Amino acid sequence: MELAVAGLTVRFGAVAALDRVDLEVASGERRALIGPNGAGKTTLLNVIAGELRPAAGSVRLGKRDATSLPPWRRARLGLGRTFQRSTLFGQLTVAENVALAVRARVHSSWRFWPDGERLVGEEVKRRLETAGLPHLAGRRVATLGHGEQRILELELALTGAPSALLLDEPMAGLSGVERQAALNRLLALPRDVTLVIVEHDLDAVFAIAERISVLDHGVKIADGTPEAVRADPRVQEAYLGAV
Amino acid sequence: MISRGWRTRHVGGAKTLVTAGINPAFTVTLGKVHVVIGNTLQLIVNGLAFGGLVFLLAAGLSIIFGLMDVLNLAHGSFYMIGAYTAYTVVMATHNFWLALLAAPVVLALIGALLELVFFRRLYRHGHLTQVLMTFGFTLVFVDLIRSRFGPTTRSIPPPPGLDGAVNFLGATFSSYSLFVLGMAIVIGALLVAGWRVSRLGMVLRAGVADKEMAGLLGIDLPRVFTLTFAFGAALAGLAGVIAAPEFAIYPGMDANVLILALVVVVIGGLGSIEGALLGAAVIGLGYVVGSTIFPQFAIGLIFAVMAAVLVVRPSGLLGRRS
Amino acid sequence: MIPGRFPSRLVFLVCLALALSSIPLWAPRFWIYIATQALIFAIFAMSLDLLVGYAGLPSLGHAAFYGVGAYACALLAIGHVDGLLPLLLVGAVAGGLAALPIGALSLRTSGIYFLMLTLAFGQMLWGLAVNWTSLTRGTDGLIGIPRPTLPGLDAFNMSLYERGPFFVLCLLVAIAVFVFLESLARSPFGKTLEGIRENDRRMRALGFPIFRYRLVAFVVAGTVAGISGSLAAMSNGFATPDLLYWTVSGLGLIAVVVGGSRSLVGPLLGAFVVLFAQLGLSTYVDRWELVLGALFIVFVLFLPRGLVGLVRRA
């Protein structure tokens, strides 16, 4: 699914967190969104996901104008996302977390009687295997380590078989081994899934991204192939300050 | 399921709010709408006086919620204690003005004590916990009052000098209503000025806008909280004293008046004094005028307005929090 | 829910049900009356827990549906409808119908605003009950509500006017409500509701229209509250506006919190605590509000998981 935003402006009080940002991501593309802290990257993701209403501009998901759609409708259109800080169901077990996501996919959430939920159970098992978490199935999420939570966070987003995925700093806080596993997971995603990754880990960015967009103070300052962006003086200035 | 105690309390309460118990000076003849200027003025004055009273109560509630994020359902109890303090003092000394001074002091002490010992623990809990705990306190206070004073309704007369009537533009106004209105305006003005101009006001406003920042800036939040709570309680106590000569004094009087204060706070906006003034004026006028023209629906209409504001603009007309 | 393996919980519940059903056999009359009132209130509290504990929607206007159910039942019973089922059903339907518009509007907000909005709507309905005198007779209320006849009881020369049979009726309804709500909580719908309570942001991102789920929960809770209202009307023989007053919702919250929210046994226990304090204590001690208020404060501060939480720790 393709993603596009045009003329996006978001204001918090007098501050413009995003200022007439344009972005076009082709279907299946791997796009990285980078920029110094406070550039507006997460804000942009939040607008695409529908949590934030822009002051101006539009959001397009696939062929549809999604600007006024609530987050859940965008998710139904095939948009998945992860959050910068793991947004999980802390008091529930890992299996129950995944089950919630599976029920959305399997459309079984409107049953009012206790169901054996065999289908859901099988799918949960499958997903836990894929993610490498079956040994944690019965553990309460709040007791998991940071890396394990990030894995679960990604898994929840993938459960819905999204056609476009927004990832907010998936590598943040991961150890070397965990980081490599996460990278492999992302690289192994089906080619028809559009990927927009916000990341600070530039090595991961260059490993995954086909194109990179750079934000600084709410403005898009560069947009192109990794090599072009790496060489762009404006980008260097944004990260390092004026030389 | 409801025991007799509750039933009489609330049947009585309903009557108090809807018809009796409100001094005849406030109610206007039902069923007839007078076009004469004098009577319209009387309606307005009565409405604003009533609103003024509710404002005193709502102001404290609004500040406490705006700053400390605590919805204090025991605020009505402070009002009740203020009224009973007035009763005690007046019975003992026959001096209303002494009561006017005593009640806020008593309530400030009670408020500070409560904050230090109990409410302090609530700040990190959610709103439900606070609401529940303050609701628990309303039960405790009602019981304490009833065991000390008994369940019968008490009253005190307006102080000499304010127990007469004044003629103006062809209508009669009770001196006491004018006094209530005057007090509300003066205190309202002082509060608004204090809020806007004084250093403490600045601190409080900063706290309302961003608690974390205010703490980071070195403002001693715990002490400010205690003072604020005490101040809010004192205002409620003052409202109780002022209300005492006009309204019935009985152990259940807190429930009805709290609701009205909540409505005002919601309409005006949590944390805004000007909002409380505006809301109280609207409610006071609305209620008195409504009781004249369509008494059946006056009280329902008030809640309908509250509901409408909450749905359309939850932060209230002048509120800052979202 | 009491944890532990499934069988031990079931055993506990069965023992509880048996113990309760034996009450008419040995308890003094007044205590049967208290237990009946406690069961009716327990149904109300369980429905409130569906909102508070399971859906995460604390409400101060729940008594409105209880009162609406009571008035509906009253009007029908006074209008010479004699069947038990219609009387219970009309309360349920009335509660549900009232909950639909109120929920649809209130659920547009959340947290403290939702709390206040439910309070406002509850008070509006109270005001309606007070002022729509042609229907409700205002503060005098509707009196002389007859209890339905049950042909089965007639055969044994008993009637619902006797404390024993009426207690058993309330117990059966309470058990039915318990089983219904319990299975709802365990169902996929219930699990989804739980997810919404735990992290609604994530649920939205997963594609759930959480407003719809919450509304269904709200209406179901209102329906069950309406059933308890019907029983209350039959039990008291009258229906007055104070059934809808916000302090009744407050008492319901006390029952839920003291007993332990997010379990159905909790509100049941809590309801008994509240009623015993209100009616039972007052025979010995006229200070039930002080006791209940103080107890409540202690629980909120130190035992937020309620009585059920105490069991869990042990």
Chain C residues touching residue B18 (CB < 8 angstroms): 130-131, 139
Ranking A137-146, A173-182, B288-297, C143-152 by mean pLDDT, the lowest is B288-297
List chains touching A (3+ CB pairs under 8 A).
C
From residue A122, how far is each of A102, A104, A157 by CA, in Å?
Answer: 10, 15, 18
pLDDT at C123 over 60: yes
From residue C56, how far is each of A47, B69, C303 by CA, in Å?
Answer: 27, 19, 18
Q: What is the 3-state secondary structure (H, E, C) of C70-122?
A: HHHHHHHHHCCCCCHHHHHHHHHHHHHHHHHHHHHHHCCCCHHHHHHHHHHHH
Count the neighbouring beta carbons within 10 Å of the beta carbon of residue A221.
Answer: 17
Q: What is the mean pLDDT of residues B265-281?
A: 84
Report pLDDT for B69. Answer: 77
Residue B18's pLDDT band, with cuts at 50, 70 and 90, is very low
Cβ neighbors of C156 (< 8 A, separation 6 or more) are: none
Q: Which residue has the higher pLDDT, C283 or A99?
A: A99
Alpha-carbon span C48 to C46, nearest angstrom: 5
Alpha-carbon span B180 to B96, nearest angstrom: 14
Do residue B133 and residue C242 have CB atoms under 8 angstroms apart? no
Do residue C194 and residue A92 have CB atoms under 8 angstroms apart? yes
Do residue C198 and residue A80 have CB atoms under 8 angstroms apart? no
Query: Contact, A168 vs A81, CB < 8 A?
Result: yes
pLDDT digit string, tens, across residues B100-123: 999 999 999 999 999 998 888 877
Q: Which residues pair with A18 in a beta bridge?
A: A10
How close, in Å, is residue A89 to chain C by CA atoms? Answer: 6
Strands (E), chain A: 3-12, 15-25, 30-34, 56-61, 64-65, 79-81, 164-168, 194-198, 211-216, 219-224
Query: Contact, A146 vs A173, CB < 8 A?
Result: yes
Closest chain A residue to the Cα of C217, Cα to Cα = A112
- Count A/C contacts: CB-CB distance under 8 Å: 86
pLDDT digit string, tens, across residues A65-79: 999 999 999 999 999
Alpha-carbon span C251 to C270, nearest angstrom: 10
Cβ neighbors of B67 (< 8 A, separation 6 or more) are: B204, B207, B208, B211, B224, B225, B228, B271
Q: What is the mean pLDDT of residues B4-33?
A: 34
A143 touches chain C (CB under 8 A): no
Residue A7, classed as helix, strand or coil, is strand
Q: What is the largest CA-CA distance in chain B?
A: 60
Q: What is the mean pLDDT of residues A159-173?
A: 91
Give the dihedral sign, CA C128/C233/C253/C204.
negative
Closest chain A residue to the Cα of C191, Cα to Cα = A100
pLDDT at B127 over 60: yes
Q: What is the mean pLDDT of residues C245-273?
A: 90
Report pLDDT for B208. Answer: 61
Alpha-carbon span B321 to A242, nearest angstrom: 39
Do residue C297 and residue B136 have CB atoms under 8 angstroms apart? yes
Percent above pLDDT 70 for chain A: 98
- With touching defined as 3 or more inter-chain CB pairs under 8 Å, the answer for chains A and B is no
Do residue A70 and residue C204 have CB atoms under 8 angstroms apart? yes
Ranking A56-65, A138-147, B6-15 by mean pLDDT, the lowest is B6-15
Determine whether A227 is exposed, middle or buried from the number of CB atoms within 10 Å of its CB (0-12, 13-18, 19+). exposed
Alpha-carbon span B276 to B318, nearest angstrom: 9
* DSSP letters spanning A156-167: HHHHT--SEEEE
Residue C311's pLDDT band, with cuts at 50, 70 and 90, is confident
Residue B204's pLDDT band, with cuts at 50, 70 and 90, is low
Chain A residues touching residue C55 (CB < 8 angstroms): none
Alpha-carbon span C193 to C197, nearest angstrom: 6
ipTM: 0.91
Q: Which two tokens stand for residue C299?
A: 């629980």
Q: What is the mean pLDDT of residues B14-25?
A: 32
pLDDT digit string, tens, across residues B41-66: 778 888 888 888 899 999 888 888 87
The residue among A64, A39, A36, A41 whose CA lies nearest residue A52 is A41
Closest chain C residue to the Cα of B7, Cα to Cα = C242
Residue B150, classed as helix, strand or coil, is coil
Chain B residues touching residue C244 (CB < 8 angstroms): none
Report pLDDT for B150. Answer: 86
Residue A40, classed as helix, strand or coil, is coil
From residue C39, how far is each of C23, C60, C130, C217 by CA, in Å?
Answer: 12, 21, 27, 22
Residue B96, classed as helix, strand or coil, is helix
Do residue B129 and residue C119 have CB atoms under 8 angstroms apart? no
Report pLDDT for C268. Answer: 92
Interface test with B, best of C30, C40, C73, C116 (most B CBs within 10 A): C116
Q: Which two tokens stand for residue A150?
A: 């990030």
C245-283: b (≥16 Cβ within 10 Å) or e? bbbbbbbbbbbbbbbbbbbbbbbbbbbbbbbbbbbbbbe
Closest chain B residue to the Cα of C242, Cα to Cα = B10
Residue A238's pLDDT band, with cuts at 50, 70 and 90, is confident
Hey, which of B30-34, B183-187, B203-207, C205-209 has the most confident mean pLDDT?
C205-209
Q: What is the largest CA-CA distance in chain C?
A: 61
Which DSSP symbol is given to A224? E
Interface test with B, best of C33, C143, C230, C289 (most B CBs within 10 A): C289
- Count B/C contacts: CB-CB distance under 8 Å: 150
* DSSP letters spanning B42-85: HHHHHHHHHHHHHHHHHHHHHHHHHHH----TTHHHHHHHHHHH
Q: Across all residues in chain C, what is the average pLDDT?
A: 88
pLDDT at B31 over 70: no
Determine whether C189 is exposed, middle or buried from the number of CB atoms within 10 Å of its CB (0-12, 13-18, 19+). buried
Length of chain A, in residues = 243
Strands (E), C168-299: 238-239
Query: Contact, A3 vs A164, CB < 8 A?
Result: yes
How close, in Å, is residue C96 to chain A by CA atoms? Answer: 17
Closest chain A residue to the Cα of C188, Cα to Cα = A109
Length of chain C, in residues = 314
Query: Contact, C38 vs C30, CB < 8 A?
Result: no
Percent above pLDDT 90 for chain B: 14
pLDDT digit string, tens, across residues A105-122: 888 888 888 877 888 889
- With touching defined as 3 or more inter-chain CB pairs under 8 Å, the answer for chains B and C is yes
pLDDT at B131 over 70: yes
- The enclosing H or E element of B280 equals helix B273-293
Q: What is the mean pLDDT of residues A30-41?
A: 88
Q: Which residue has the higher pLDDT, B219 or B47?
A: B47
CB contacts under 8 A, C 190-229 vs A, are 191-192, 194-195, 198-199, 201-210, 213
Do residue B132 and residue C243 have CB atoms under 8 angstroms apart? no
Report pLDDT for C163. Answer: 84
Ranking B180-189, B313-322, C216-225 by mean pLDDT, the lowest is B313-322
The residue among B81, B206, B225 whose CA lies nearest residue B141 is B81
Report pLDDT for B209. Answer: 65
Residue A157's pLDDT band, with cuts at 50, 70 and 90, is very high
Report pLDDT for B7. Answer: 30
Residue C314's pLDDT band, with cuts at 50, 70 and 90, is low
Residue B19's pLDDT band, with cuts at 50, 70 and 90, is very low
Alpha-carbon span B51 to B296, nearest angstrom: 20
How close, in Å, is residue C184 to chain A by CA atoms? Answer: 6
A90 touches chain C (CB under 8 A): yes
Alpha-carbon span A191 to A211, nearest angstrom: 15
Report pLDDT for C2. Answer: 44
pLDDT at B172 over 80: no
Q: Across all residues in chain B, what is the average pLDDT?
A: 78
Residue A184, classed as helix, strand or coil, is helix
Q: What is the mean pLDDT of residues C72-77?
A: 92
The residue among B234, B245, B231 whose CA lies nearest residue B179 is B245
Length of chain B, in residues = 322
Determine whether A15 is exposed, middle or buried from the number of CB atoms within 10 Å of its CB (0-12, 13-18, 19+). exposed
pLDDT at C162 over 70: yes
Q: What is the mean pLDDT of residues C9-22?
A: 82
pLDDT at C194 over 90: yes
Count the neighbouring beta carbons within 10 Å of the beta carbon of residue B69.
Answer: 18
Chain A residues touching residue C3 (CB < 8 angstroms): none
Strands (E), C177-277: 238-239
State pTM to two decimals.
0.87
Query: Contact, C170 vs C42, CB < 8 A?
Result: no
Do residue A72 and residue C192 have CB atoms under 8 angstroms apart? no
Do residue C242 and residue B6 have CB atoms under 8 angstroms apart? yes
